A and B are shown apart, each in its own frame.
Chain A
């Protein structure tokens, strides 16, 4: 990580002209955008357009061929503590209890035992799983397991959350409910979040901003503000402002 000074410090995340190719085939092509601290931004785009590659570059898991990602004034060239990532698949560790799953990243970074206990309890209470802390993932539903993964990310206290279709494998009802829960947590705690989703409605309902990506190689074709209040609920799905933004996203995807 390198300290970066200047105007980009003011943004929680700055993605600057990031490009990535696999075997000569470009996946991401010169993408740039900035995210304000505490914002909730959704990335939508056609399947296989390079959304997940972009997210992995932002997380420092994968390197960019060109360009850079700056989080909190630091250039990301490897995973950093201030960025938490939640994946689409169930990533709970079946041999660990709910409590120890959430404690995993803290144990791996050799944090103090008391600190681990405090952070795990806070994270589990946040996702309403404290009562289930002694259970193993096999005894939980798919939605609960994803909440364990969310608690694991929150326990590391990241300022930026990268959510790669975290509830994509769940049914629509549960996906929306959990999405609203994540949005509420991020809003209450002032965390910046980037959500990748296939559901345009979900993107519009949860995010302050929707970035529409083109097909491969991914570029930003539209940057849409969502004119809804911070507090979101499923009732707003019928809001004409949501319908308007959804229509604009569809139009951009057709571009």
Chain B
């Protein structure tokens, strides 16, 4: 309701001249700009699909690497305490500043974009999985010992289900951060994708297209976030959101 009111106010503000049309265009015009990108087959191929693919791949790698690293770190208290200061600092590193280095080493392709997305997405996944492992109730260990549930069986029957809330929250955050990484990297140098669309529209003063592309970015990240939250609600059993200590 609040969002609808804000959009309506923006629309009115732009239409009556309260807001400079050289800065912000009315939301209906933003939607038209988005439709112009989506409505054309070429727009899908050169704008939406490259970004969506890179985000998906970056999210998958972030989740996989983050989970594996967290599981590995949890095996050794010493290694974990040695790595923890670096993990805390990682989100503060401006990954985009490294993008020219990625291009120099890996070329101006999807690999550089994915790498930027992964570097941003892996940290929230790693921290969420570590938090999930820390919050696993002690009785799971007792059950594992009594019923001799070890190795992969323990991982799949106790550990992963036990930390499912943290895993899904990690997935939600990781996908959002990966998307930010990919889009931001596209803004700088990529020849395609949503980031490139925003950048090129900005360069040519095409505000309708620029805001349309921004709207698509918001829609893409928002739908990912809401979709994972819906899965989270559906997959997790009632009462499992709050893991018992």
Between B164, B240, B243, the greatest number of chain A beta carbons within 10 A of the residue's beta carbon is seen for: B240
A50 proximal to B (CB < 8 A)? no
Chain B contributes a number of interface residues (CB within 8 A of A) equal to 21
| Residue ID in chain B nearest A162 by CB atoms | B146
B239 proximal to A (CB < 8 A)? yes
A91 in contact with B143 (CB, 8 Å): yes
Considering the complex, which residues of chain A in the window 92-107 have a beta carbon less than 8 Å from any beta carbon of chain B?
93-97, 104-105, 107
CB distance from A175 to the nearest CB of B (A): 19
B157 proximal to A (CB < 8 A)? yes
Contacts of A208 in B (CB 8 A): none
Chain A contributes a number of interface residues (CB within 8 A of B) equal to 23
17 A-B pairs with CB atoms under 8 Å apart are A61-B145, A79-B145, A79-B147, A87-B142, A89-B139, A90-B139, A91-B142, A94-B244, A95-B164, A96-B161, A104-B147, A108-B153, A108-B157, A136-B239, A137-B239, A138-B238, A138-B239
Contacts of B142 in A (CB 8 A): 61, 87, 91
A246 proximal to B (CB < 8 A)? no
B189 proximal to A (CB < 8 A)? no
Question: Chain A contact residues: over half helix, strand or loop, or mixed?
Answer: loop
Q: Which residues of B contact A (CB under 8 A)?
A: 139, 142-143, 145-149, 153, 157-158, 161-162, 164, 236-240, 243-244
B237 in contact with A79 (CB, 8 Å): no
A79 in contact with B146 (CB, 8 Å): yes
CA distance A87 to B138 in the complex (A): 12
Task: Out of A89, A90, A139, name the residue touching B238 (CB < 8 Å).
Answer: A139
Task: Out of B145, B158, B244, name the residue touching A90 (CB < 8 Å).
Answer: B244
A95 in contact with B237 (CB, 8 Å): yes
A231 proximal to B (CB < 8 A)? no
Task: Out of B143, B147, B236, name the residue touching A95 (CB < 8 Å).
Answer: B236
B157 in contact with A95 (CB, 8 Å): no
